[in-house]
């Protein structure tokens, strides 16, 4: 039983589905979460600073692949979901989920400015009986050490007047086997009342809830998941370099190794890390670990290996041009195939393709890209010089004008046989030609 009257009232509202939910940040995490809340029976308001997102939602048009427009339209027209740029509406929300970016600074330190600003916006309308949940990935302790002090500046007390929780997002853009409601949800509350509220609310939204003892534990769960991937990807990237020197195909090694039914899980090399989690999240722990004088050698080494991969790929491009075509990279035209960080999604966050474009430009190459999902390079924090660059057409006349094609992202909707026929050389970082059974002489693996 809830010990606080405010918690008891909110718990009753959650169980009766009369509690109103708010989601701050309507991107790849926030919009699918809002849909799951609405489909779970709650009335949901989405908040975002981008007017274009609000306009799209009002037009019943989804801009996130994981949310079909038909689903969005149904929830809007049923009155279960609406979106706004007016954060004053937070006052009416009983449960507020924060889904804002948590990037790194140029020095690889955590940038919590979005979280802090959002907490101040919530504090402006904070009232008793609200549950505030952080879903953004961050270092262990953020909920208690950053969020709580900002919200308690209002004079309201966490655990008595309002309640805090953390539930890490688990999204995999392009993966049609899972959606927000079917992915087990780790939840934690700051105190017993908050924990009960977290379990009750998310239990009504997703199929499986996984409670853990503290918000710091939940924050650590998310970091652990992505550090596991980052370290293992770095391992196979390093193995790729070693095996290449030995004349061994790392892709063949992995395919054979994964037939072992125990003790092995396949990870695959690539041109670098991309996405909003794996290239960033490990450094949240390396930063926090300094406070405890604990080194994070594996994590930092993995970061060094993965960060170096675009340089290795460009060296392979230059080597292929020199040995097979007798041309210098600085006098060659290079077509980068794929701008997204993973196949079949229009998501360029931390994409290694952006770094590859930058490095190829620096080496003097004449560079273009083709991506069926991304018509133009949008504004980014790190690659301002690439903004406005447009995807070239994928046809014989256009592609034959290049000396080499670099497969950085292996989108399914590409005719790779035609690609190999139209350009003299292809450098394949994703093993897509071998996976498709295309035995062509002019393909170099990297």
pLDDT single digits (tens) 291-347: 899 989 988 899 889 999 999 999 999 999 999 999 999 999 999 999 999 999 999
Residue 164 has pLDDT above 70, yes or no: yes
Query: How many CB atoms neighbour CB 238 within 10 A?
Result: 18
For 240, phi and psi rounded to 5 degrees? Answer: -55, -45
Fold of 230-445: Rossmann fold (3.40.50)
Residue 179 has pLDDT above 90, yes or no: no
Q: Which CATH number applies to 5-213?
A: 3.40.50.720
Radius of gyration of the chain (CA): 24
Tell me the percentage of the chain whose pLDDT exceeds 70.
Answer: 99
Structural domain boundaries of the chain?
Answer: 5-213, 230-445
The sheet with strand 95-98 has its strands ordered as 81-84, 43-47, 20-24, 95-98, 131-134, 163-166, 185-189, 209-211
Contacts of 352 (CB under 8 A, 6+ apart): 270, 271, 272, 273, 274, 309, 310, 341, 408
For residue 175, what pLDDT band results from cuts at 50, 70 and 90?
A: confident
Task: Report the pLDDT averaged over residues 117-133.
Answer: 98
Alpha-carbon distance of 210 to 398, in angstroms, equals 52
Tell me the percentage of the chain whose pLDDT exceeds 90.
Answer: 86
Alpha-carbon distance of 79 to 57, in angstroms, equals 13
pLDDT at 2: 64
Answer yes or no: same fold for 5-213 and 230-445: yes
pLDDT at 284: 86
Tens digit of each residue's pLDDT (9 = 90 or more) over 236-265: 999 999 999 999 999 999 999 999 999 999
For residue 276, what pLDDT band results from cuts at 50, 70 and 90?
A: low
Q: Are 310 and 237 in contact (CB under 8 A)?
A: no
85 a catalytic residue: no
Residue 120 has pLDDT above 90, yes or no: yes
Alpha-carbon 4 to chain mean position: 37
Tens digit of each residue's pLDDT (9 = 90 or more) over 61-73: 999 988 999 999 9
Residue 85 has pLDDT above 60, yes or no: yes
Q: Are strands 163-166 and 185-189 parallel, antiparallel or unpaired?
A: antiparallel
Of 93, 99, 119, 277, the active-site residue reads 277
Residue 279 has pLDDT above 80, yes or no: no
């Amino acid at each position: 039983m809830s010990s606080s009257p405010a918690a008891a009232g909110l718990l009753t509202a959650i169980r009766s589905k009369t509690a109103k939910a708010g989601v701050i940040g309507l991107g790849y995490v926030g919009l699918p979460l809002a849909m799951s809340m609405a489909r779970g029976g709650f009335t949901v308001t989405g908040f975002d600073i981008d007017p274009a997102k609000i306009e799209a939602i009002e037009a019943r048009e989804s801009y996130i692949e994981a949310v079909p427009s038909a689903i969005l339209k149904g929830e809007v027209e049923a009155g279960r979901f609406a979106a706004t740029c007016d954060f004053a509406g937070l006052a009416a929300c009983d449960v507020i989920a924060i889904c804002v970016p948590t990037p790194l600074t140029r020095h690889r330190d955590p940038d919590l400015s979005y979280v802090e600003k959002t907490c101040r916006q919530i504090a402006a309308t904070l009232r008793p009986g609200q549950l505030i949940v952080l879903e953004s990935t961050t270092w262990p302790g953020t909920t208690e050490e950053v969020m709580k002090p900002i919200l308690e500046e209002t004079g309201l007390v966490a655990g008595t007047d309002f309640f805090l929780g953390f539930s890490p997002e688990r999204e995999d853009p392009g993966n049609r086997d899972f959606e927000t409601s079917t992915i087990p949800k780790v939840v934690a509350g700051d105190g017993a009342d908050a924990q009960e509220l977290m379990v009750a609310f998310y239990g009504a939204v997703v199929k499986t809830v996984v409670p853990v003892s503290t918000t710091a534990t939940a924050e650590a769960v998310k970091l652990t998941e992505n550090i596991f991937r980052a370290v293992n990807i770095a391992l196979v990237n390093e193995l790729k370099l070693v095996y290449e020197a030995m004349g061994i195909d790392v892709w063949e090694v992995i395919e054979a190794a994964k037939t072992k039914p125990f003790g092995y899980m396949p990870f695959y090399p690539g041109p670098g890390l991309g996405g909003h989690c794996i290239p960033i999240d490990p450094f949240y722990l390396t930063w926090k670990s300094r406070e405890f004088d604990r080194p994070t050698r594996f994590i930092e080494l993995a970061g060094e290996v993965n960060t170096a991969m675009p340089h290795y790929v460009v060296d392979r491009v230059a080597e292929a041009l020199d040995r097979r075509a007798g041309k210098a990279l600085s006098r060659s035209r290079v077509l980068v195939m794929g701008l997204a960080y993973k196949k079949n999604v229009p998501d360029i966050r931390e994409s290694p393709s952006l770094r590859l474009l930058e490095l190829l430009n620096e080496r003097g190459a004449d560079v273009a890209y083709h991506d069926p999902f991304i018509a133009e390079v949008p504004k980014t924090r790190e690659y301002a010089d690439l903004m406005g660059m447009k995807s070239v057409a994928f046809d014989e006349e256009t592609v034959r004008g290049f000396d080499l094609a670099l497969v950085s992202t292996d989108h399914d909707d590409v005719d790779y046989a035609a690609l190999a026929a139209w350009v003299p050389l292809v450098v394949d970082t994703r093993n897509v030609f071998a996976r498709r059974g295309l035995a062509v002489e002019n393909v170099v693996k990297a």
